[in-house]
Amino acid sequence: MAEHTVTTSDGEMTDPAELRALYKITSEDVERIREFGEKAADHMDGVFVEFYEWLEEESWFEEFFTDEALLEHVKRQQHDYWRTFMIADVDELYIERRHVVGEVHARIGLPLNAYFAGMNTFQDLFASVLAEVLPIEHRAATLESMSKLMHLDSAIVAETYNHAFQDAMREQSESIMAMSTPVTEIWDGILFLPIVGLIDSHRAREVMDSTLSAIAETQAQIFILDISGVGVVDTAVANNMFRITRATKLMGCESIISGVSPAIAQTIVDLGIDVGVIRTTATMRDALALSFRQVGVEIAGTK
């Protein structure tokens, strides 16, 4: 059967032959693993019994494996995992199955160190079986062959887990940013956007896109950007902030930056940033009062 290149979860390409070469898995290693698999077949039920006795003592057992139906499903999947391991046919299907293990661990939130601890436990259990079924002169070489393949498996699982975890964190971060920076029309013709945290270039683009879309939709005259929740202002943050307000001006919408603390004001001056004609206020109250006057709204108690 011809081998094909496998597309990993992060979009990279992994060739099975290159992967075998990377971990120095030879045809002799494959023969040793298969021989052990055949001779250890009658011992596998005992291996799994001992493994789950160990697992029940671990802290993550009650959190992830107390559901009986789930536990039975995991056991079936684990039997299949080690069945394919003992065949040692590292092809595209073998690699894909290891990717699935990493994705599942990441999806349910099972710590990656739980996988490594489990693999280490299986290695110890297999070593005990190996001592029973193989002549002493074959044991070291067989154990080394199995270690190579277990390292390959662990690398695939860990890489997939990390990519899946990073993707989940990025999606969560984007969702939080979207929720924490809504462009809101607080009055007819007045838009308001509070910024909390850091304004990096990626977030600045998202903020600008949502702000300009809101201006086009509402035909707003005033845009208030409140930065009282921005803890640190450096050159990049300040430039991103003023780039947003300059873009709104091109659409005929006057910008006001509110929440400019003495520390932020001093930082902007020290950085030598040209704020141009952008209007700033120390408080949100001042920004609102200024905005209402510009749209011709009089509020009782304001001057």
pLDDT digits (tens, 9 = 90+) for 131-178: 999 999 999 999 999 999 999 999 999 999 999 888 877 776 666 555
Domain boundary residue, one of 153, 174, 195: 174
Domain boundary residue, one of 174, 201, 217: 174
**Residue 275 confidence (pLDDT) above 70:** no
Q: Is the pTM of this model over 0.85?
A: no
User: How high does pLDDT run on average in the chain?
Assistant: 86
Average pLDDT for 1-6: 43
Looking at the structure, do residues 193 and 276 belong to the same domain, yes or no?
Answer: yes
Beta strands 13-14 and 6-7 are antiparallel
Give the structural domain span for 241: 184-294
In 88-219, which ranges are continuous DSSP H helix? Answer: 92-108, 112-133, 136-180, 201-218
Residue 123 is assigned to a structural domain of this protein: yes
Residue 300 is assigned to a structural domain of this protein: no
Q: Do 36 and 86 meet the contact criterion of CB atoms below 8 Å apart?
A: yes
Looking at the structure, do residues 127 and 58 belong to the same domain, yes or no?
Answer: yes
Residue 275 is assigned to a structural domain of this protein: yes
Q: In what order do the strands lie in the sheet with 279-280?
A: 184-187, 190-196, 222-229, 254-258, 279-280
Per-residue pLDDT at 297? 84
In terms of average pLDDT, the best of 65-79, 169-183, 189-203 is 65-79
Largest Cα separation within the chain, whole Å, is 96
146 compared with 206, residue with greater pLDDT: 146
CATH number at residue 216: 3.30.750.24
65-69, 96-100, 206-210, 271-275: which range is least confident on average? 271-275
Residue 68 is assigned to a structural domain of this protein: yes
- Beta-ladder partners of 187: 190
**Residue 222 confidence (pLDDT) above 50:** yes
Angle subtended at Cα 87 by Cα 26 and Cα 155, rounded to the nearest 5 degrees: 65
Looking at the structure, do residues 43 and 146 belong to the same domain, yes or no?
Answer: yes
The tokens describing 269, both together, are 């001056």
Looking at the structure, do residues 121 and 22 belong to the same domain, yes or no?
Answer: yes
**Residues whose CB is less than 8 angstroms from the CB of residue 5 and which lie 6 or more positions away in sequence, other chains included:** 13, 14, 15, 92
**Residue 267 confidence (pLDDT) above 90:** no
78-82, 139-143, 156-160, 245-249: which range is least confident on average? 245-249
Average pLDDT for 210-215: 92
Looking at the structure, do residues 163 and 209 belong to the same domain, yes or no?
Answer: no
Residue 302 is assigned to a structural domain of this protein: no
Secondary structure (3-state) at 279: strand
What is the distance between the alpha carbons of residues 202 and 301, in angstroms, rounded to a whole number?
41
Q: Do 240 and 228 meet the contact criterion of CB atoms below 8 Å apart?
A: no
What is the distance between the alpha carbons of residues 45 and 232, in angstroms, rounded to a whole number?
59
Domain boundary residue, one of 141, 156, 174: 174
CATH number at residue 122: 1.10.490.10
Average pLDDT for 223-234: 84
Average pLDDT for 2-16: 52
Looking at the structure, do residues 217 and 162 belong to the same domain, yes or no?
Answer: no
Residue 17 is assigned to a structural domain of this protein: yes
Angle subtended at Cα 181 by Cα 179 and Cα 185, rounded to the nearest 5 degrees: 105
Residue 118 is assigned to a structural domain of this protein: yes
Looking at the structure, do residues 159 and 193 belong to the same domain, yes or no?
Answer: no
Structural domains in the chain (count): 2
Looking at the structure, do residues 199 and 166 belong to the same domain, yes or no?
Answer: no
Looking at the structure, do residues 274 and 152 belong to the same domain, yes or no?
Answer: no
Average pLDDT for 283-301: 85
Phi, psi of 225, deg, nearest 5: -110, 110
Average pLDDT for 61-74: 86
